[in-house]
Chain A
């Protein structure tokens, strides 16, 4: 086994596999993907529903089928894949400690690293749900793994908190498995996942959704016996007199995802508090030379297509970096979240990149706009780019493209502010 690689990718989800493929295609001779699960593919292996690849492949695939395409392509290109192996430590000088049952604990090094560790789910404690601590409280993704991978039902009668995509998808899956999904509760006054999932997973299966509602208390000593649901006001305070006890044996939480950045932190990568992921430039370079990032580790995506695309960009940058090009830390302009924007990726842009082609910005809005909306990129009073949207919803990523013609204005800009407004 080699100890030294041109590019090492941590994580074999769609972000990581695309990065490995691109790195190989752009000249990196030795590329390794390290995956802690027993097979490559990432979170998609438990997403057995369809709906993957609609945007870029123009096909409607299941999660595992989508993932397999890229795994096959990477293997055909000669990418090395190490499974059942977890990266425990990553240094700023790109040394990694990896442990696995097969190779034990080994130290590897790479000229360039791509972080593609995906994300993790927010938990009960993070949203501070009061009550007892019985069995029967799961994050939606954990339940998805139990049902789709292990083949076991985690309960019979469910309440789902949060209208995130995984929760809605699980509402449908559990219903198909013969379980009863009493309700989906959402604390916000709007849906937090994709509208298409609301239609296909809740409406079509008669699962009620209650907006501006949350779980006030979990009841039950050894196993969940009920949850107390309550309506909340604008400040998320319970509205007196609205409490209702819903008997159930399981509570699923679909209350948000957080980029997985333990290794990024260890490597000294600066993290953006708004995304929870690394600050990146247009090539997905982080603040540490030779370290790149792609996919949910950067910010949480809604569609896998854009993860794959980001992986290609990061993999190409990593290959160029491994071959000696300076792709990071060059003069660049900052991008900031302006009105109604939660965060923007990338956070920095090298104007010269516009000479190679248009550059795409990815963002999330704070509040929904149901009428027509527009997304604008400006430097002070100077408008640099503008795009019309049919609507803007927090559950769906918004994209805006900076055309090559914006080169001059971007080069002169101090900072680019991105905003999404009505109209």
Chain B
């Protein structure tokens, strides 16, 4: 049986950041995920804001890790080449009755150690963002908040971990523990068992079920709380600010922001759902989101909508441990009590993306406190470089890229300008993109106006050719999500294998 020092369950942003920091030490680390790619869970469906930290209740772990995480993002983004912009955000009071709440947020932020906050008049806000509701009467401005590419964050951390020696296994579901008395001795997965001394539970919405398998925290429950979104066309709505409403008890509310590629996104609502896989959008939810967003930006045009998605918050019920702080939904970042060898990272709802690097550092401290020697490897390299993105380069560099590799001259996704060269590079990267969605998260292909209408047949052909598969085997997001069912009647390349099929589907281009 393969033996590791640490097995991490879940390759979301939390698991991948943990894998990356652990790869610094002389430890053998296994990172597993049940899906076909890293970051296929909540980490790929959120608002992508690196929060300033005025929102969490002071004294909670959420507050501390939010603010600490936020401060790490400049270095993190630079080391891992993650698109990240400290754009700042506004909490907008549309009703004069909301103004006292802004004051409260300001005080809360100061108590949490957030810097760079300021109250603005409605006039000043409108001067900075003319599209905002003319009724807006005041705003809280937080300059340290930012937006990032959350897919890139997960991938970059995972890739850096893997190049520093971490073993990544995808389509590998955790099923149970091997226990020796009250000590964890290994994990049982859908691909066999592995010995390990430590398990890091970073299973997102499933983190409660994982810890229950070890008999830990039987009362801890995660409720999947869904948030739905629209993506809008940047050409139709030139909106660059991050605008929050005044928050409510359950969520930060329906906000208006933009992706790092400039497409505005609006959402999320907050709806508890029964299934931990239910990432569907609903008619009622979408209507709620639109109404909420219109309160901030009345001029939103429904014709600008180009995308819909939903994500699941892992809302937990852990009490904050700080004496005197009454809060029942704190993050769990702990070495579990009652068994030896389990680290729980659970109930990591928003601001979990922001906090992920700080959570990872906390894991290192926890292991050190537990007596792990944690010797640094001399070979550790914190730097990971993104592969070139054609559309972000100036024309001279674009031309040079095409000269080096002509495939960078062929546009496969017309809306987001993604080239075949980029796609091929991602398929052969340290963590290969093997599905359509994996390519989508890495290159943003198919996320624009036509939502894959143009690129899908082409991408299927490229995936088949590069992976040596038949196009019939290419999937959207792993087994069971195949795109094609069979060759047409008159096609005679049905059983001639990948070579012929790839030639037929993509090969016409070589003429």
Contact = CB atoms under 8 A, between A and B. Distances in A.
B235 A265 contact: yes
B450 A151 contact: no
A249 interface: yes
A135 B483 contact: yes
Interface string B444-460: 00000111111011001
B414 A105 contact: no
A134 B477 CA distance: 9
B326 interface: no
A156 B488 CA distance: 11
Contacts of B461: 150
A142 interface: yes
A86 B278 CA distance: 39
Interface in A105-119: 105, 107
B473 to A, nearest CB: 11
B260 to A, nearest CB: 20
B306 A123 contact: yes
B486 interface: yes
Given A99-B402, A100-B410, A104-B399, A132 B489 contact: no
Given A152-B472, A152-B491, A222-B477, A146 B484 contact: yes
A131 B281 contact: yes
Given A123-B451, A126-B305, A130-B286, A221 B277 contact: yes
B504 interface: yes
A301 to B, nearest CB: 19
B456 A142 contact: yes
A216 B471 CA distance: 31
Output the residue of A86, A104, A217 with the most chain B CB within 10 A.
A104
Nearest to A155: B485
Contacts of A86: 410-411, 414
A347 to B, nearest CB: 19
Contact of B406 (A104, A178, A216, A265): A104
Contacts of B99: none
Interface in B177-193: none
Contacts of B475: 135
A363 to B, nearest CB: 21
B505 A120 contact: no
Contacts of B305: 125-126, 128
A216 B282 CA distance: 9
B276 to A, nearest CB: 12
Contacts of B235: 262, 265
Given A134-B481, A222-B480, A153 B487 contact: yes
A99 B406 CA distance: 10
B457 A150 contact: yes
Interface string B396-426: 0011001100110111001101010000000
Nearest to A36: B411
B450 A120 contact: yes
A125 B402 contact: no
Given A97-B395, A150-B457, A222-B477, A130 B406 contact: no
Contacts of B410: 84, 86, 99-101
Contact of A125 (B403, B451, B485): B451
Given A99-B411, A151-B491, A216-B283, A121 B453 contact: yes
Contact of A154 (B454, B477, B483, B505): B483
A402 B256 CA distance: 49
A151 B411 contact: no
A145 interface: yes
Contacts of A151: 487-488, 490-491, 493, 504-505
Interface in B213-235: 230-231, 235
A55 interface: no
16 contacts: A36-B411, A86-B414, A103-B409, A104-B399, A104-B402, A121-B453, A125-B307, A128-B281, A128-B308, A132-B280, A133-B279, A139-B453, A150-B505, A151-B487, A152-B471, A153-B488
Given A120-B453, A125-B307, 11 more contacts: A39-B508, A107-B395, A120-B454, A123-B453, A125-B306, A125-B451, A133-B309, A135-B476, A150-B505, A152-B488, A156-B486
Interface of A: 36, 38-39, 84, 86, 88, 97, 99-105, 107, 120-121, 123-126, 128, 130-136, 138-139, 141-142, 145-147, 149-156, 177-178, 216-218, 221-223, 249, 262, 265
Interface of B: 230-231, 235, 277-283, 285-286, 303, 305-309, 395, 398-399, 402-403, 406-407, 409-411, 414-415, 417, 419, 449-454, 456-457, 460-461, 471-472, 475-491, 493, 504-505, 508-509, 511
